[in-house]
Amino acid sequence: MRDRRWDFLYEREKQTAKDYLVSRFTVELAAELSAWPPPHLDWSSEAERQRWSSAAGAHPRDEVIRLALEVARLDLGREFERMEAHLEHERHRLMGPAEVAAVHLVARLATEACLEFKERAERIALSRADLIAALHAVERRLFRVTLG
């Protein structure tokens, strides 16, 4: 009788180290965003804490997180004019200054996480396009729709 305990390993698709690391990064970033506020927010100054602390209080609405991830993708793509125009165009979706601050804080957190990941994983040669795709994967993971 053949031992079938390990058959699932033969059915798995091969995955490069780069793909594996990017998928692990997306899982971690999605978990960090879903467990808002992050426990490790360090403010560099009192003015910064006052400016952004309203965003660090309650978990932002899904629409705010989606907008922040869009802004982060544009920032990583170095499309600064388009990012500013997009923020101005979508400002009507936000309900007050706390949500505006939340968009900026979440976008900054996501962008800095991506750039730190790229710096730490220098041997796998991540491009900005890879990081933008990772943020798309984070958004898909956060806002999965399951049909029951």
Judged against a pLDDT cut of 80, whether residue 27 lies above it is answered with yes
The larger pLDDT score, comparing residue 76 to residue 35, is at: 76
120: confidence class by pLDDT, cuts 50, 70, 90: very high
- 105, exposed or middle or buried, with CB in 10 Å at 0-12, 13-18, 19+? buried
Q: pLDDT category, 115, cuts 50, 70, 90?
A: very high
Over residues 108-136, mean pLDDT: 93
Given a contact cutoff of 8 angstroms between Cβ atoms, the answer to whether 104 and 55 are in contact is: yes
Q: Report phi then psi at 83, rounded to 5.
A: -65, -45
**pLDDT digits 0-9 by tens, 41-95:** 676 777 777 776 767 777 888 999 999 999 999 999 999 999 999 888 988 888 8
Q: Which residues of 29-62 are buried (b: 16+ CB within 10 A; e: fewer)?
A: bbebbeebbeeeeeeeeeeeeeebebbbeeebee
User: Residue 39: pLDDT band by 50, 70, 90 thresholds?
Assistant: low
* pLDDT for res 13: 74
